[in-house]
Structure 1
């Protein structure tokens, strides 16, 4: 009897849950009820974790590495603690797509034995657990990208970044959930279902790296790697109040990663780190770049991590709105607060009008469906999997010809040149703006990626960071009678629910020019100091 796509998906979900050891299954009597929205305190408050497990999973990267390398902690104990916490996070948020628990413990034991015998760590990440977004291929594991037809099709080779991390001594223990084809701003698909936000399970953890953001916000990972083609690192980081770096194409290796739009290179997908601190973001960036990944990935640029001094005073352009959608009240308040604090600290802030942003977003939308969604249709077809409603633009797409595609790419190149000229003439160090219009949002209501997607078209470096401001239902009430910028804006403002996002962290975004990852990180550090927020 032929199995339906629903049968295959259900079997995959069951297999994933069965991969969690019985002793890591949350007992019914302490399982948080559905009415408990914030589950981030569960590891600390439930009594389900030992003191050592909490110690390992709340430590920062430098402490984890120092303790393992000094042999005070065993890598296998650390790997087991993070594996258990990730397993619990999955039971509460549906954040995982694959588990590697036995392999992770075997790998950690090997690292411990090596350190004991030689006295030397294998590399700078020796013993550090690292989580990965689902599209990073690991030999023997599925990379479904949410597609049911890719269930049971294990990878036969590693993504280059996987090999880089393993050579550096990392322990890989889970892969995390994504939306279908990684092309929805919320992490939901027909294979695994929806990942929810551990800070408030009625809200999205974002997409497409939403499994990663949920896992890190819960403390189930200290360092994760996601990807970004229209905001897929920055949106989920903003929805959960963590840090991320969106690099320009070529800084970090992307070879042999899996894609739902393979061959689409008009807008390049990039990968980058997601973590709880800016220091951890920089740690990843330095170690990956300094491993000389250009020797493994032909599209990776031979640029080592460069020290940069941005000075104590910055000249920043501020985007109050992108001309398409006005940020919701908590985001507007956070941006206003940031500008005031930075001006008090002596930084020069100038208004930056969103010229060319609408054109950039129009181009982005056309590039994504230029093949008439043939790539996606071909993957859905073998099991008759339907398009999800979130992918309506793909379901309705018509293929364009080569000539028309070339004209779009020519427009993109001109737009990039015009934007660069304007940036240079203004003498900016960077741009400060919202990461998204939201302090997260209820499931199914994330509708605008304009604040991130424009910088994918430009290929600029960007850091999303928590601003230190939290949404407040009293301070951030919906405004009535305001003039909206577009039909999309009117819909977003009408749907805004101050009570639903009360208490959620609000993130902002700092943009540097192309291939200025070091400057983006350094400027963010200066901005955080001005805001009084820990890096």
Structure 2
């Protein structure tokens, strides 16, 4: 197919997405923010276009909404309409959606309302709550393009297992969100839908690959979204936008029947997890999904119920100041120092953690992704003549390795996993504290280095990304001076591009990591850190 062919397909898909927004949810031209307006998060309140009730609903937490939905104080139809409208506005201002499911969502909501009225009982723990899904979660009859032209007009033949579980718990699906090509870029940009931008500053990235989710949530268009993570795809966008997420270990949450960007690549497993504006709702999601016993319907899930985590009164926390490859930019360095000081003041023990093995872990990650020589991506692109995007050059240039070489890579991975675990156990630490990314966020197109997140995908450790409550300050976070000594060439590039003015006011996040399958522990430890930061 000619270049015009793939471009036409993409244009038609974008038009269909735009046309799917009802006229009553299209922002009136006379109040539409100018393209030059950077921060659009205040639009719902300042525009006068949203009713007080719509603002109240979309400004509530998931926990608050669920209590009112279960009691009948709020109708799911009313709640769903409010989130559909806010999500429609979010898309018009940030390009965060890939699919709208508005009519089906309202039908589902009305059915749930009828059930509650008839029986007096909610369907399940998520009764009537709108939940947004990243594009890769299959819903029968709906596209999951994962940023490929070839998957446009290729509706899923079944629901993903997670979608079945969430629907059974009473959730309402109303939108799917944008991702990068193959979900393998740390910003959400592709040839189908284009680029998703940051609602707090549209010159900046909302991250990737779950960047449609992070933009939607940061705008207030969702209270619970679900994304996925194979190299940082939950934690990077959460950190860029200042929201919460959990990267669980593989086997904890169901992943079967999702569309993969690199189907069959299993040297490093993709996982999915929640993205929320607060930690309580994140934990509520986890308890609900694991409480549904997903191992009954997903053969890859491990039968571990959600457990209570018993933490010592005083934690021993390892601190990774840098990963030996890239120095955190001034805001992140300041946030890390501030958090360490607060934790010490609260009586916790903080010890330095070495970046030993990190470069090798990142190498394993990178080589795993291109071990097929980029063939999976190339074959998908070939069908429509879609070209490789510049961000996917590593896949375009990769050379395929044989089975023997792949097995050697597995051996190397397993050896590092053992070394890292032994080092952790010998140090006697409870969790690790470190940057999520080297920066708060960056200008569109400038994201580099997934080393702080990707190593824990190879190790398969549980991790949260959380906002510290700090934001970028022009005076406190001035660029590194002439005496700065970069660790690597990529470090030099990242720090030379750093501009405090460009990211002024952006939230600063950090990452907390626990060992494999310690999701409950890392969430409880995150509560401890947040408590220390609040004092």
What's the TM-score bracket when you normalise by the shorter of the two chains? over 0.9
Alpha-carbon distance, 1:58 to partner: 0.6
Match of 2:240 in 1: 239
Match of 1:527 in 2: 529
Aligned mates of 2:184, 2:85 — CA distance in 1: 29
The reply on whether 1:497 has 2:499 as its aligned counterpart is yes
Dislocated runs of 4+, deviation >4 Å? none
Match of 1:344 in 2: 345
Aligned mates of 2:487, 2:63 — CA distance in 1: 46
For residues 125-150 of structure 1, give each alpha carbon's deviation from its aligned partner in whole angstroms, at most 9, with x where no partner exists. Answer: 00010000000000110000010111
For residues 282-309 of structure 1, give each alpha carbon's deviation from its aligned partner in whole angstroms, at most 9, with x where no partner exists. Answer: 0000010010000111010000000112
Equivalent position SS for 2:108: helix
Matches within 5 A, 1:172-321: 172-321=173-322
For residues 228-253 of structure 1, give each alpha carbon's deviation from its aligned partner in whole angstroms, at most 9, with x where no partner exists. Answer: 00000000000000000000000000
Alpha-carbon distance, 1:480 to partner: 2.1
Matches within 5 A, 1:68-107: 68-107=69-108
Match of 2:5 in 1: 4
Aligned mates of 2:226, 2:64 — CA distance in 1: 20
Equivalent position SS for 1:245: strand
For residues 429-481 of structure 1, give each alpha carbon's deviation from its aligned partner in whole angstroms, at most 9, with x where no partner exists. Answer: 00000000011000111010000000000000000000111001111111122
Match of 1:457 in 2: 458
User: Would you say the 8 A contact 1:312–1:526 is kept in 2?
Assistant: no
Aligned mates of 1:466, 1:310 — CA distance in 2: 22
Aligned mates of 2:312, 2:48 — CA distance in 1: 47
The reply on whether 1:17 has 2:36 as its aligned counterpart is no
Alpha-carbon distance, 1:280 to partner: 0.6
Per mean C-alpha deviation after superposition, the further-off stretch among 307-316 and 458-467 is 307-316
The reply on whether 1:508 has 2:524 as its aligned counterpart is no
Aligned mates of 1:479, 1:227 — CA distance in 2: 34
Equivalent position SS for 1:330: helix
Alpha-carbon distance, 1:260 to partner: 1.5
Aligned mates of 2:210, 2:285 — CA distance in 1: 17
Aligned mates of 1:60, 1:413 — CA distance in 2: 41
Aligned mates of 1:124, 1:317 — CA distance in 2: 36
Aligned mates of 2:445, 2:72 — CA distance in 1: 47
Aligned mates of 1:260, 1:221 — CA distance in 2: 24
Equivalent position SS for 2:383: helix
Match of 2:414 in 1: 413
The reply on whether 1:367 has 2:372 as its aligned counterpart is no
The reply on whether 1:330 has 2:335 as its aligned counterpart is no
Alpha-carbon distance, 1:371 to partner: 0.1
Per mean C-alpha deviation after superposition, the further-off stretch among 303-312 and 186-195 is 303-312
Alpha-carbon distance, 1:114 to partner: 0.3
Aligned mates of 1:79, 1:58 — CA distance in 2: 13
Match of 2:33 in 1: 32
Aligned mates of 1:248, 1:10 — CA distance in 2: 38
Match of 2:479 in 1: 478
Aligned mates of 1:436, 1:286 — CA distance in 2: 28
Could you state the TM-score of these two structures normalised by the residue count of structure 1?
0.99
Aligned mates of 2:415, 2:64 — CA distance in 1: 47
Aligned mates of 1:430, 1:444 — CA distance in 2: 32
Match of 2:123 in 1: 122
Match of 1:488 in 2: 490
CA RMSD of aligned residues (A): 0.9
Equivalent position SS for 2:239: helix
Alpha-carbon distance, 1:171 to partner: 0.3
Q: Could you list the runs of 5+ residues in structure 1 that have no partner in the other structure?
A: none
Alpha-carbon distance, 1:61 to partner: 1.2
Per mean C-alpha deviation after superposition, the further-off stretch among 478-487 and 190-199 is 478-487
Aligned mates of 1:59, 1:467 — CA distance in 2: 21
Could you state the TM-score of these two structures normalised by the residue count of structure 2?
0.99
For residues 94-120 of structure 1, give each alpha carbon's deviation from its aligned partner in whole angstroms, at most 9, with x where no partner exists. Answer: 000000000000000000000000001
Aligned mates of 2:312, 2:86 — CA distance in 1: 40
Equivalent position SS for 1:138: coil
Alpha-carbon distance, 1:311 to partner: 2.9
Alpha-carbon distance, 1:387 to partner: 0.5
Q: Could you list the runs of 5+ residues in structure 2 that have no partner in the other structure?
A: none
Alpha-carbon distance, 1:70 to partner: 1.1
Aligned mates of 1:32, 1:311 — CA distance in 2: 50
The reply on whether 1:169 has 2:156 as its aligned counterpart is no
Alpha-carbon distance, 1:312 to partner: 2.7
Alpha-carbon distance, 1:313 to partner: 1.1
Aligned mates of 2:13, 2:439 — CA distance in 1: 33
How many residue pairs match? The answer is 533
